[in-house]
Structure 1
Amino acid sequence: MYLAKKTTESDSSKHKPLVLIVDDEPNNLHVLVEGLLTDYDIRVSTSGEQALAFVESTRPDLILLDIMMPGMDGYEVCKTLKSKQSTKGIPVIFVSALTTEDSEEYGFELGAIDYIHKPYKLALVRARVRTHITSQGMLDRLIEKNFDLHDKLLEIEALALELSKREEELKLLSSKQKLFYQALTGTADGVVITDSLGSIIAVNPSFCRITGFTETEALNTQLHELKQNNQLGVSFSDVWQHSNKAGYWSGELVTRRKNGELYPELLTLSMVKSEQDTKVHFIAVFSDISSLKITQERIDYLTWHDELTALPNRNGFLKQLEQQLQNCSLNNNYAYIYIIDIDSFRSINDGLGLLAGDKVLKELAKRIHNKLGKKDVIARLGSDGFSALSSVEKGVGRLRTQEIAEHKAQKLLSAINEPFIIDGQKISITISIGTYIFPREDKWESAIETISNCEAACYKAKEKGGNRVTFFDNSFGEQAKRRFEIEQDLRKAISQNEFTLYVQSQFNSQQILKGGEVLLRWIHPQKGFISPAEFIPIAEESDIIYELDCWVLKNALSLIKKLDKRHAALSISVNISGRHFHEPRFLSLLKTQLDSYKIQPNQLTIEIIEGTLLNNIESAIEAVQLLKNLGVRVSIDDFGTGYSSLTYLKQLPIQELKIDRSFVFDAPKDNNDKLIIDMIVSLGKLFQLDVVAEGVENQSHFDLLQEYPQVILQGYYLHKPEPASEWLKKINN
């Protein structure tokens, strides 16, 4: 790259248009430079690469570009220039000896603005360069003016935006003022504004509603006069003084309405200053909290009392028991507590409804109160559980205390055994009473530990059949601990595959296999074998029993599915808890599982304990009917031990009666039990029901039951329960 002629300072000051000539032929360059040097600032490049390097740093006003050059030709240079944002606007005139239309058309497609053909005619070259330079200059000036106009427009837009913004701010300010006014007049809180001396200058409608003063009466009145209460505690003078010093006060204040009535209010008094801190006002915002106080008192009451019976609740009882424990320790005397629980209270709620159940609880609370001493503390611990706390005189020993507690508890049992009249209907209930004497000689116990011990005694009374008084024994604590551990372990036993399904076969009188009953066995990883008699009652008291029943049902259906086709007549019996027997969730699960396993529904027999059917006979009938529609057989388990009734046998579409083992056990030597078996077998014939006798444990049982050839037999004498997998393998082979 070089200059065609050294440019002097005076030359450069003229700001001649810059023309870049790109040609590899010196003769061509010489002609063009000589022809244009007078009017233009000329730069020369002898290759395409050199030209591109030049325009990276210096932008020419026009480029005269030879097409035919070694290396990068003019077409490639033009294409590169037009591909870049920074150089695409530079005008390019091709200089070429080519005169074909195709070459010129291609050049114009690449972005050239003109063609100059060789050999040159300098007059034509100068004319075309001048024309394009002039056109480019005019375009540049138009662009410059356009930019100036654009800047002016931007200024105008900015000014318009600022004006619009100010207008919006004014609108917003106006809307905020309206909003503040609406909030002030619409809020449920009273609002009053005073000057620096406490003279009222504005009030809102809620102020008038709460205080009883009209706006006219309040204006120009001293706030002190309206807030004086003549009550002990915080006075408004103290509030005003604090607000003047600190600028703020908030709290509760008792004040008077216009009619003289006192009421509690929640008040916030704030000092408000102008920007110059010369003008001071005070704003008081207050609300009538009379209803809140009543609600709080109600909450405080319910914290310590039972709403249904108005007796102390568990919290209240614990508080008084803790105090009694301390008194006994200080005074060296004894006291005792009762835990009183209704036996089978669930059947009352299920059979008569919750409202009737509540009436029973209220009547029970009255009877307990009437039978115990006036100084005794009686409480409702929750649901159907009550408690009582009694103390004896100092000097009365532990044995005498136990006699007193026993005597009083027996009197209470007798009183509760008298029928209750609920909605004109006689209802008989029994209770279990756990009794605990304290303090113990060997250790100090908290109120919670004391109640826990007494609850363990009450639970033991229930285990023995209820309607009795049981005193705490040290072994009960271990039992309660084991019971808690089993309940916790039950919750994870299913997921950890700790349960196993066993089967006990059922035979006819000729000892031909007719089916089997599935039994649940639990092998605990640490505790070993745990009897169903221990863990089933615990599961029954929580929703764990539902999970257990679902697990047993699914595995029983899987067992039926695996039976050989030769055994299609065999029936598998499954015990289901009465707690959820008629619940939609269980019935829905059963239908889904039957569809899933695709077995003959009559191969499944659902066993229900007799007593649970009568808790809600209408739901039971509906559930049994649904099972019948599905094709599933239903058996009444332990028949004869509950409330056997011809009425429900007639109403329930069942298929089987199961004689309880207690009748079979003594039947060979007890004629009464044999007569009961006779009756049940006769009922089976009458209602066309199958009859199963369980508890066939020895030869004498088997021989006796041979008198009833239609009865199905089940017991250890015929078959000991074995794992379902082994039982299945034996009968299939």
Structure 2
Amino acid sequence: MTDNPVKDIPFCDALIMMIDDEPLVMEVLQTCLEEHGYRFFSKIEDSRLAVEAIWEQRPDVVLLDLNMPEMDGFEILRALRSNPDTRFLSVIVLTSSNDSNTKLKALELGATDFLAKPVDRSELVLRIKNTLTVKAYQDQLAFYDTLTQLPNRKLLLDRLDWAIKAAARDGGEVAVLNVAIDRFQQVNELLGTQAGDELLVEVSRRLLKSLRDTDTVSRANHDPWRNIARLSGDEFSILLTDLKSSSQIVAITERLRQCLREPFNIKQREIYITASIGIAMYPKDADTTDTLMRHAGAATAYAKEKGRDCYQFYSAEINAAAQQRMNLEHSLRRVLERQELTLHFQPKVCPFTGAVKGAEALVRWYSPDFGFIPPNEFIPIAEETGIITQIGEWVLRKACEQNVIWSQQGLRLTMSVNVSAQQFRDNKFPVIVQKVLSETGMDPELLILEITEGVLMGDTNRVGDLLFKIKSTGVHLSIDDFGTGYSSLAYLKTFPIDELKIDRSFIVDTPADSDSAAIVRTIVAMARSLDLSVVAEGVEEESQLQFLRELSCDLIQGYYFAKPLPAAEFEEFCRQRAGKAASANDTVKEMKAVKEEKSAKGQQIPRSGDA
């Protein structure tokens, strides 16, 4: 035994699982492998237990018999390759069949190698050794990003740790640049994830080229490949050593930003992107790997909050902001449990009569620890952490419950509820809507779900399928902030949309600004041609109201009438407006009479709106 060349192999700790309905065969195989240094085995005689055993024990290699009762080797291969956790598990098939079709089928199902029965002992040892060698190589791939082929976070942390130790020894400095692509999710939503992946690959190439063109990157490691990594998603990290001054970091950062500003050609479309870059330094900002990475991430988040397309050095103020955000996130995760959320309702008013026709439900958060938290502060955190789906369902349910209460009191109004992109992307969302409607007893005809234009982009078939499933519940669909995203007649014709909400950014300057006024006129005309209702939000002045009346806009939202109100105040507002609406009906009747008279004479007059 001592002369065997594979004795004392480096894979002696590997777990080898044998799946065979013949116990004697497994005993022979184990004895042979034990003689060559292998020590850990798992034997499965009942093939029906094999898949579960593999998932639980995670062997390094499987010796799989093909011909077994109850569940054969082909079925086991199918099950393994359909699970991401076992898709690349090494499986050596044992077969007494010399039929080429059998081997071909096994290969198609993902078999790694073959051994013919009866098994040759020397061949068995060599096949096991070769398979484990390949696995060892594959394990090395765990240190590299499969998409961009850049080092991944694990390898970067290892190199950063080495760089910090070297800097501590030599009295040098180390910097970490955290590069996050701005609004990357919009690319995925508009062009699909495949286009997003292509963009990330091109970004990695540009970053590499930019570092090659820079003579200030670590002289100890001239290959920039060693200095850049893809952390996750749209985030990259760059390690800089042998630094002389912060001006060197600024020069590199500006070069990186500039290289990303040039257009990318993805799927025959020009895409323009920017990046937010956070910078943290050793020993100034942190003295450990984890802390340095965390501070670079905090600086990146601060750069995004400042408006994106910029860079930010870490500071104590940023740390305080990051701590505040972390505290908010922690509290936000328990906000439903603690019942800290409430709903306010903004009236949707007829511009002609002043009558309240509907309400938009808007979530508010009052924290005992932090006081009132504005929505523009906690909603982005909720979206980033995924909590928005829970909050969104809570808002939907509470809004429906309130609408039922009002209906029972004789106040029959539509109820608009915002739907986040994460909620909409969940295939179960139509079921959730139906469940809430059923459990609250709300009339589906009164519920309006508001989604943004960006949500509609991407996989048209999937989006359309979801929208029609939602519509099948009987609710109405509205496009919120219309005009700020990817406005297109195509999706308005394709999808079952009922309402357009003109974004407040176009209303604020009307009618004085001719461009804004022209955009509003165009949106209203387009909606009319498609038989869609139009809501204008952000109305604050009489001149804006009059302009929208002339266009026969259906409904108005804005501080001109009322800010979002608690339920009790909203009810009182509706009662007050009801009295004013009654006196306004005479005016509306006069307007209709004038319209009918002029129409009879062939004059073109806008619609009078909802009276």
TM-score of the pair, normalised by structure 1: 0.58
Q: Which residue of 2 aligns with 1:720?
A: 563
Offset of residue 330 of structure 1: 4.0
Pair 375,186 (structure 1): closer, same or farther in 2 beyond 3 Å: closer
Q: Which residue of 2 aligns with 1:291?
A: 131
Pair 571,541 (structure 1): closer, same or farther in 2 beyond 3 Å: same
8 Å contact 2:414–2:447 — kept in the other structure?
A: yes
Offset of residue 315 of structure 1: 1.7
Offset of residue 379 of structure 1: 0.7
Find the aligned partners of 2:471 and 2:129 in 1 and give their Cα distance. 62
Is 1:554 paired with 2:397?
A: yes
8 Å contact 1:264–1:289 — kept in the other structure?
A: no
Instruction: Give the number of aligned pairs.
Output: 458
Find the aligned partners of 1:707 and 1:431 in 2 and give their Cα distance. 41
Within the candidate set 244, 263, 266, 1:418 is matched to 263
Q: Which residue of 2 aligns with 1:523?
A: 366
Pair 336,670 (structure 1): closer, same or farther in 2 beyond 3 Å: farther
Question: Which amino acid in structure 2 is aligned with residue 650 of structure 1?
Answer: K
Secondary structure class of the residue paired with 1:505: strand
Within the candidate set 676, 687, 693, 2:519 is matched to 676
Offset of residue 457 of structure 1: 2.6
Within the candidate set 426, 429, 445, 1:586 is matched to 429
Q: Which residue of 1 aligns with 2:379?
A: 536
Q: Which residue of 2 aligns with 1:649?
A: 492
- 1:251-283 CA distances to partner (integer Å, 9 max, x unpaired)? xxxxxxxxxxxx9999xxxxxxxxxxxxxxxxx
8 Å contact 1:334–1:397 — kept in the other structure?
A: no
Pair 191,619 (structure 1): closer, same or farther in 2 beyond 3 Å: closer
Gaps of 5+ in 1: 1-178, 194-262, 267-285
Offset of residue 691 of structure 1: 1.0
Q: Which residue of 1 aligns with 2:301?
A: 459
- 1:586-627 CA distances to partner (integer Å, 9 max, x unpaired)? 110111222223332111111111222113333332233233
Secondary structure class of the residue paired with 1:362: helix
Offset of residue 473 of structure 1: 4.1
Is 1:387 paired with 2:226?
A: no
Gaps of 5+ in 2: 1-21, 37-121, 213-221, 577-611
- 1:167-221 CA distances to partner (integer Å, 9 max, x unpaired)? xxxxxxxxxxxx997555454735779xxxxxxxxxxxxxxxxxxxxxxxxxxxx
Secondary structure class of the residue paired with 1:492: coil
Instruction: Please give the root-mean-square deviation of Cα atoms over the aligned residues, in Å.
Output: 3.0
8 Å contact 2:207–2:256 — kept in the other structure?
A: no
Is 1:511 paired with 2:358?
A: no
Find the aligned partners of 2:258 and 2:306 in 1 and give their Cα distance. 19
Find the aligned partners of 1:668 and 1:712 in 2 and give their Cα distance. 17
Pair 319,430 (structure 1): closer, same or farther in 2 beyond 3 Å: same
Q: Which residue of 2 aligns with 1:363?
A: 202
Secondary structure class of the residue paired with 2:422: coil
8 Å contact 1:413–1:468 — kept in the other structure?
A: no
8 Å contact 2:206–2:260 — kept in the other structure?
A: no
Question: Which amino acid in structure 1 is aligned with residue 134 of structure 2?
Answer: I
What pairs with 1:95-134 in structure 2 (closer than 5 Å)? none
8 Å contact 1:668–1:704 — kept in the other structure?
A: yes
Question: Which amino acid in structure 2 is aligned with residue 419 of structure 1?
Answer: F
Question: Which amino acid in structure 1 is aligned with residue 239 of structure 2?
Answer: L
Secondary structure class of the residue paired with 1:189: helix
8 Å contact 1:432–1:461 — kept in the other structure?
A: no
- 1:547-567 CA distances to partner (integer Å, 9 max, x unpaired)? 111100111110111114575
Pair 669,391 (structure 1): closer, same or farther in 2 beyond 3 Å: farther
Question: Which amino acid in structure 2 is aligned with residue 420 of structure 1?
Answer: N
Find the aligned partners of 1:333 and 1:315 in 2 and give their Cα distance. 23
8 Å contact 2:503–2:538 — kept in the other structure?
A: yes
8 Å contact 1:501–1:518 — kept in the other structure?
A: yes
Within the candidate set 495, 505, 508, 2:337 is matched to 495
Pair 392,405 (structure 1): closer, same or farther in 2 beyond 3 Å: farther
Question: Which amino acid in structure 1 is aligned with residue 264 of structure 2?
Answer: P
Secondary structure class of the residue paired with 2:421: coil
Question: Which amino acid in structure 1 is aligned with residue 440 of structure 2?
Answer: Y
Offset of residue 568 of structure 1: 6.1
- 1:55-79 CA distances to partner (integer Å, 9 max, x unpaired)? xxxxxxxxxxxxxxxxxxxxxxxxx
Pair 450,700 (structure 1): closer, same or farther in 2 beyond 3 Å: farther
Question: Which amino acid in structure 2 is aligned with residue 453 of structure 1?
Answer: H
Is 1:616 paired with 2:459?
A: yes
Secondary structure class of the residue paired with 1:581: helix
Within the candidate set 420, 430, 435, 1:577 is matched to 420
8 Å contact 1:564–1:732 — kept in the other structure?
A: no
Within the candidate set 257, 261, 277, 1:434 is matched to 277
Secondary structure class of the residue paired with 1:289: helix
Within the candidate set 510, 513, 531, 1:667 is matched to 510
Offset of residue 584 of structure 1: 2.8
Question: Which amino acid in structure 1 is aligned with residue 341 of structure 2?
Answer: F
Find the aligned partners of 1:350 and 1:189 in 2 and give their Cα distance. 56
Find the aligned partners of 2:516 and 2:182 in 1 and give their Cα distance. 27
Percentage of identical aligned residues = 32
8 Å contact 1:190–1:287 — kept in the other structure?
A: no
Secondary structure class of the residue paired with 1:372: helix
8 Å contact 1:338–1:433 — kept in the other structure?
A: no
What pairs with 1:5-44 in structure 2 (closer than 5 Å)? none
Pair 451,444 (structure 1): closer, same or farther in 2 beyond 3 Å: closer
Within the candidate set 7, 32, 36, 1:189 is matched to 32
What pairs with 1:136-535 in structure 2 (closer than 5 Å)? 185=28, 187=30, 189-190=32-33, 288-299=128-139, 301-350=140-189, 352-373=191-212, 374-376=222-224, 377-393=227-243, 396-398=244-246, 400-414=247-261, 417-422=262-267, 425-426=268-269, 428-439=271-282, 441=284, 444-509=286-351, 510-535=353-378
Pair 613,330 (structure 1): closer, same or farther in 2 beyond 3 Å: same
Offset of residue 657 of structure 1: 0.7
Secondary structure class of the residue paired with 1:630: coil
8 Å contact 1:499–1:520 — kept in the other structure?
A: yes
- 1:430-458 CA distances to partner (integer Å, 9 max, x unpaired)? 242313152354x5432222222222232
Q: Which residue of 2 aligns with 1:154?
A: none
8 Å contact 1:568–1:603 — kept in the other structure?
A: no
Offset of residue 498 of structure 1: 0.4
Secondary structure class of the residue paired with 2:277: strand
Find the aligned partners of 2:160 and 2:338 in 1 and give their Cα distance. 42
Question: Which amino acid in structure 2 is aligned with residue 672 of structure 1?
Answer: D
Find the aligned partners of 1:550 and 1:369 in 2 and give their Cα distance. 44
Pair 324,568 (structure 1): closer, same or farther in 2 beyond 3 Å: same
8 Å contact 2:511–2:517 — kept in the other structure?
A: yes
Secondary structure class of the residue paired with 1:615: coil
Query: Higher Cα Rg: structure 1 or 2?
Result: 1
Find the aligned partners of 1:505 and 1:621 in 2 and give their Cα distance. 30
Question: Which amino acid in structure 2 is aligned with residue 714 of structure 1?
Answer: Q
Pair 539,264 (structure 1): closer, same or farther in 2 beyond 3 Å: farther
Offset of residue 314 of structure 1: 0.9
Find the aligned partners of 1:718 and 1:618 in 2 and give their Cα distance. 40
8 Å contact 1:402–1:437 — kept in the other structure?
A: no
- 1:33-72 CA distances to partner (integer Å, 9 max, x unpaired)? xxxxxxxxxxxxxxxxxxxxxxxxxxxxxxxxxxxxxxxx
